[in-house]
Amino acid sequence: MKRKWWHGKVAYQIYPKSFQDTNGDGIGDLRGVIDHLDYLKSLGIDIIWLSPIYQSPFVDQGYDISDYYKIDEIFGTMEEFDELLAEAKKRDMYIIMDLVINHCSDQHEWFQKALKDPEGKYGDYFYFRKGKDGNPPSNYRSYFGGSAWEKVEGTDYYYLHMFAKEQPDLNWNNPEVLNELYTMINWWLDKGVAGFRIDAIINIKKDLSFPDYEPDGPDGMTGIFHMVEGVDGVGELLEDLKHTFEKYDAFTVAEVFNMKKDELEEFIGDDGHFSTMFDFSAHEMTFGDHGWYDAKKVRFDDLKKEIFHAQKECEDVGFLANIIENHDEPRGASRYLPDYLQNEDGIKLLGTISVMLRGIPFIYQGQELGMENIPFKSIDEVDDISTLDEYKVALDAGLTPEAALKAVARRSRDNARTPMQWTGEENAGFTAGTPWLRVNSNYTAINVEKETIDPNSVLNFYKKLIALRKDPEYKETVVYGALEPFMEDRHNLMAYYRKGDKTLLVVGNYQWDEQEITLPSECKKVLINNYPDMVLDGNSVKLHGYQVLVVELA
């Protein structure tokens, strides 16, 4: 594997709207990000991914961009963005932007022009097709529910939107569109952004015959992902993009779902289209067959199997970006730990398992504090477009309103979007005004201020984990060492080696009962421990409930 500048880095995702408000409008802003760069630096963060800050009507929280060259005024100004870049640079930190190019906003000038003349130049920037006998061109259900085709009033035309109807898909077969996108990408790279997180990229490849698929729900439609799975050749579309990134030695992390088995090398190999891509294997395990309401509970042994499988697949190919949560997922602490044990030890165990994997760790804002899901009191508290749709899906499936709320609350994207918890003061120190989304009431116990001074806090534990990745003595092993499972079949035990110039063993006891294991060789040094002690007798270790260790072996 070719060595790259980002291999040893640790990344952090900021959801700007919920990070820090500085002008009292209840919405996080760029000034708030600048103000906390030192906090992130002290945590050990190198790369910051900003969820979209471009001009947007916010139908899907900024993932609907109406001008790729403007900072939305709710976040601040371009001058402030430049200041952020400069301040990050001073601290040896890198900023990456969210690149949302499968679709734009229906308020984008391209789409406004297209609507006026679907057969004209701008009509070809999108996918306008005529309906079939008064029906949409095909039976696709969009990711956010309802038909993926929206009728243009007063014409026979429909346009394609894989997400909300306010997010029309861009036509990647039109060279003019690609030119517009490449120009824009170059413009941001010239400005000094270090790269991009690339949104929903697998969806850019369409089957232009737009075939119908077997309906998979009571609405008679079929999830549009069936079209994605049924078409090959996304890689061809990505070639030029790759050269653009190469020119700048940019770091890119792709959001890829529904990848074909043989595409891994093409995506993240030495000459791959992206630097890395997220490992969503844990997240994917909780997908329901019909919606969030029939989402599956994850058994820890299965989770472990998935993680090891993903690591194995990429061991000779490249690096995955490892996550526990992001802005589309519930909080890991609430999701991957059983209810009765969502405590600090469990949270530290999850964090260790993830951060010590081979790959690039991405920490989502608040994860380092052990932030948890928010108990929604009513569906009226929900902002997220996807949650509102899934609520409807659950009701349509016959769930009572109470049951439907409970089901979608577990999985809601808003769980991760509640304001960052900075202090124990009102609104967790996030805003002096009214927060756009309710602050989780646990903020008096879980916040940066409190955790900074508590040596045993989740925050200080994360600092140690990240510091270990960067420790000159262990860096080579943690970054490049092979990952090998240890005692893979032991129930409720997650254990793996990292083997480089040193041999490390990561062991986590995912249960309340003690568990005894025998180390394969002598323990030279304990590097990470979420308990004050380690019960060692010869080479045998008695692990406490939810104990996690990283040890150096002889």
Residues in contact with ligand TEU by the rule CB under 6 A: 60, 63, 100, 143, 163, 199-200, 255, 257, 327-328, 386, 413
CA–CA separation, 326 vs 362, rounded Å?
9
Q: Compare residues 390 and 451 and give the one whose CB is closer to ligand TEU.
A: 390
- Say whether residue 77 binds Ca ion (CB under 5 A): no
- Say whether residue 25 binds Ca ion (CB under 5 A): yes
Which of the stretches 17-25, 195-203, 233-241, 374-382 binds Ca ion when contact is defined by CB under 5 A?
A: 17-25
- Say whether residue 21 binds Ca ion (CB under 5 A): yes
Q: Compare residues 205 and 327 and give the one whose CB is closer to ligand TEU.
A: 327
Supply the minimum distance, in Å, between the C-beta of residue 548 and ligand TEU: 29
CA–CA separation, 196 vs 252, rounded Å?
5
58 binds, among Ca ion, ligand TEU, none (CB under 5 to 8 A by kind): none
Supply the minimum distance, in Å, between the C-beta of residue 254 and ligand TEU: 11
Supply the minimum distance, in Å, between the C-beta of residue 460 and ligand TEU: 30
Q: Compare residues 64 and 451 and give the one whose CB is closer to ligand TEU.
A: 64
Of 4, 8, 23, 242, the one binding Ca ion (CB under 5 A) is 23
How many separate helices (H) and strands (E) can be counted in the chain? 17, 23
Q: Compare residues 295 and 428 and give the one whose CB is closer to Ca ion.
A: 428
- Say whether residue 35 binds Ca ion (CB under 5 A): no
Q: Distance of alpha carbon 274 from its chain centroid, rounded?
A: 16
Q: Is residue 513 annotated as a catalytic residue, yes or no? A: no
**Strand pairing report for 251-254 and 195-198:** parallel
35 binds, among ligand TEU, Ca ion, none (CB under 5 to 8 A by kind): none
Tell me which residue of 278, 258, 282 sits closest to 268, measured CA to CA.
278
Catalytic pick among 64, 98, 169, 255: 255
* Reduced 3-state DSSP string for 96-146: EEEECCCECCCCCHHHHHHHHCCCCCHHHHECEEECECCECCCCEECCCCC
Whether the Cβ atoms of residue 82 and residue 191 lie closer than 8 Å to each other:
yes
Q: Is residue 150 annotated as a catalytic residue, yes or no? A: no
- Say whether residue 80 binds Ca ion (CB under 5 A): no
Whether the Cβ atoms of residue 452 and residue 39 lie closer than 8 Å to each other:
no
Catalytic pick among 199, 279, 414, 552: 199
Q: Compare residues 345 and 389 and give the one whose CB is closer to ligand TEU.
A: 389
401-411 and 385-396 are packed helices; what angle lies between their axes, rounded to 10 degrees?
140
Contacts of 490 (CB under 8 A, 6+ apart): 515, 517
Supply the minimum distance, in Å, between the C-beta of residue 512 and ligand TEU: 32
Q: What DSSP line would sit under 453-482, residue for residue?
A: H-TTSHHHHHHHHHHHHH-TTTHHHHHHSE
Q: Compare residues 111 and 163 and give the one whose CB is closer to ligand TEU.
A: 163
Q: Compare residues 327 and 410 and give the one whose CB is closer to ligand TEU.
A: 327
CA–CA separation, 163 vs 147, rounded Å?
10
Supply the minimum distance, in Å, between the C-beta of residue 167 and ligand TEU: 6
21 binds, among Ca ion, ligand TEU, none (CB under 5 to 8 A by kind): Ca ion
Of 13, 16, 29, 321, the one binding Ca ion (CB under 5 A) is 29
Supply the minimum distance, in Å, between the C-beta of residue 156 and ligand TEU: 28
Contacts of 372 (CB under 8 A, 6+ apart): 331, 333, 334, 342, 440, 442, 446
CA–CA separation, 161 vs 478, rounded Å?
42
Size of residue set near Ca ion by CB under 5 A? 5
Cα distance between the two ends of the chain: 27
175-191 and 234-248 are packed helices; what angle lies between their axes, rounded to 10 degrees?
30
User: Residues in the site for Ca ion, rule: CB under 5 A?
Assistant: 21, 23, 25, 27, 29
Residues assigned a catalytic role: 199, 255
